[in-house]
């Protein structure tokens, strides 16, 4: 039985503290040269696609701009369109939310990108829960949770009608409880028919949405057991929509620490985590759980003696991760127990509990880890997030990809012109 082929994508790091700003090679997150370098590296290594997330409002904490991570995010379509001019085969994927936009403008923008790139566009369809970000838009961010995915489904249905309107000479009409649009679409059929559809939700609604509509799904389950469980769950949902397992590609996000030897890689991983979690960052992360000003606490000291503040306005605005702490007091209790057992300071605890690198090791070790996880159906590939921008993918491209190619599990050349070709998706 032939081995599964590995899919790889490169994520330009966004609004978070995973980028090591103090690294001497760290570059701008605004200047086009940074986007171009990462995209060209990914294309040189024959990656499936470059991915750009969305940031529609600067995060705030305690009423001030959170300046410990990226401040500013260029427009997705403008960056991807510019990258189309400096790449030839690499897929170009971007997040555009369905809560604040309208189907006609988004369909027109993605269809344009698919034309400009010769069939390499992908749309990561997300919803937004965030009223704080919604203040930038006339619609606001106040859709109840149960309506967000319903609007997203109808949004994508409407956009699909527009993408496919070439069959009727561009004429379209779509009506439901969210949209009432009709007219004539002003672009011909794009090279892929329509862009590849990505989805990133991990909730039950998100998984169901992906099973019904998406070509690929991002996940945060990159380990063996949780990865296999997620992979089996979403693939198992496809049949009721008349779809096959190969119609949905499962791509967990993954970080890596790469060095000449495994021992050196573990030393590097530890140092990167300390650089990512400064004393200031540790206090801010703790505030996001405690929902309180902890600026008078020493990051090298113990955790707060009082419990997190539950309810009311949150101290951190525009940050989705705060919603993952569904029971802050229980999490705080668990963290106190861990800190006491291992004698950890605040900073050491945040380093201990924050996401560690997915892959740590020599080129051979990391290539083996990736191959093993894909062959075990824990994933179909990975979206790599380097800790240094824009050069953090260079070593991976030069030292790990050739080993995956030697194993026969990763392409040595692109076999088709479109992103659908790269992902092994059936043509439309």
Phi and psi at 396, nearest 5°, equal -60, -45
**What is the Cα gyration radius of the chain?**
22
Position 168 confidence tier, pLDDT thresholds 50, 70, 90: confident
Phi and psi at 315, nearest 5°, equal -65, -25
Position 206 confidence tier, pLDDT thresholds 50, 70, 90: confident
> Where are the domains positioned within the chain?
7-261+356-423, 278-353
pLDDT on residue 367? 98
CB atoms within 10 A of CB 143: 22
d(CA 33, CA 41): 12
d(CA 398, CA 46): 11
The pLDDT mean for the chain works out to 91
pLDDT digits (tens, 9 = 90+) for 321-348: 666 667 889 999 999 999 999 999 999 9
- How far from the centroid of its chain's Cα atoms is residue 164's Cα? 27
Annotated binding-site residues read 95, 149, 203
pLDDT on residue 58? 81
pLDDT on residue 356? 83
pLDDT on residue 388? 92
In sequence order, the 6+-apart residues with CB closer than 8 A to the CB of 327 are none
- How far from the centroid of its chain's Cα atoms is residue 410's Cα? 22
Position 66 confidence tier, pLDDT thresholds 50, 70, 90: confident
Q: Is the dihedral of CA 69, 71, 77, 83 positive or negative?
A: negative
What's the CATH architecture for 7-261+356-423?
Alpha-Beta Barrel (3.20)
Strands 316-317, 60-61: pairing kind: antiparallel
Evaluate if residue 251 carries a pLDDT over 90: yes
User: Mean pLDDT over residues 13-35, rounded?
Assistant: 84
Strands 256-258, 359-361: pairing kind: parallel
pLDDT on residue 371? 98
d(CA 297, CA 283): 7
pLDDT digits (tens, 9 = 90+) for 296-325: 999 999 999 999 888 777 777 766 666 666
d(CA 423, CA 48): 7
Tell me, letter by letter, the H, E, C secondary structure of 107-158: HHHHHHHHHHHCCCEEEEEECCCCHHHHCCCCCCCCCCHHHHHHHHHHHHHH
Annotated binding-site residues for FMN read 95, 149, 203
CB atoms within 10 A of CB 184: 10
Q: CB of 66 within 8 A of CB of 324? A: no
Q: Name the burial class of residue 239, with classes exposed (0-12), middle (13-18) and buried (19+) by CB atoms within 10 angstroms of its CB.
A: exposed
pLDDT digits (tens, 9 = 90+) for 357-400: 999 999 999 999 999 999 999 999 999 999 999 999 999 999 99
Phi and psi at 9, nearest 5°, equal -135, 160
- How far from the centroid of its chain's Cα atoms is residue 258's Cα? 21
């Amino acid at each position: 039985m032939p081995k599964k082929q590995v899919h790889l994508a490169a994520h330009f790091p966004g609004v978070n503290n995973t980028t090591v700003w103090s690294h001497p090679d760290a570059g701008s997150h605004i200047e086009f040269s940074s986007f171009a370098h990462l995209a060209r590296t990914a294309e040189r290594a024959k990656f499936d696609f470059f991915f750009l997330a969305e940031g529609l409002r600067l995060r705030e904490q305690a009423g001030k701009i959170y300046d410990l991570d990226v401040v500013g995010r260029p427009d997705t379509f403008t960056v991807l369109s510019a990258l189309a001019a400096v790449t030839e085969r690499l897929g170009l994927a971007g997040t555009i939310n369905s809560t604040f936009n309208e189907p006609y403008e988004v369909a027109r923008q993605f269809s344009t990108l698919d034309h400009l790139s010769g069939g390499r566009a992908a749309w990561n369809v997300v919803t937004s829960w965030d009223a704080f970000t919604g203040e930038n838009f006339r619609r606001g961010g106040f859709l109840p949770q149960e309506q967000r995915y319903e609007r997203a489904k109808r949004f994508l249905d409407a956009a699909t009608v527009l993408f496919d309107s070439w069959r009727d000479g561009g004429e379209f009409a779509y009506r439901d409880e969210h949209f009432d649009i009709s007219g004539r679409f002003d672009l011909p059929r794009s090279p892929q028919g329509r862009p590849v559809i990505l989805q990133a939700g991990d909730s039950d609604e998100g998984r169901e949405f992906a099973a019904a509509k998406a070509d690929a799904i991002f996940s945060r389950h990159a380990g063996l057991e949780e990865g296999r469980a997620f992979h089996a769950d979403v693939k198992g949902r496809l049949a009721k929509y008349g779809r096959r397992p190969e119609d949905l590609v499962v791509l967990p996000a993954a970080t890596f620490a790469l060095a000449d030897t495994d021992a050196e890689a573990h030393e590097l991983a530890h140092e990167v985590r300390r650089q990512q979690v400064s004393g200031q960052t540790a206090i801010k992360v703790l505030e996001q759980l405690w929902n309180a000003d902890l600026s008078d606490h020493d990051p090298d000291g113990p955790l707060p003696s009082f419990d997190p503040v539950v309810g009311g306005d949150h101290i951190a605005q525009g940050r989705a991760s705060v919603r993952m702490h569904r029971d802050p007091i229980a999490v705080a209790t668990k963290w106190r127990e861990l800190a006491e057992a291992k004698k950890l300071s605040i900073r050491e605890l945040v380093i201990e509990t924050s996401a560690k690198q997915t892959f740590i090791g020599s080129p051979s070790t990391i290539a083996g880890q990736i191959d093993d996880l894909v062959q075990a159906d824990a994933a179909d590939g990975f979206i790599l997030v380097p800790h240094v921008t824009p050069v953090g993918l260079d070593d991976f491209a030069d030292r790990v990809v050739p080993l995956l190619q030697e194993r026969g599990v990763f392409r040595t050349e692109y076999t088709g012109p479109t992103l659908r070709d790269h992902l092994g998706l059936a043509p439309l």
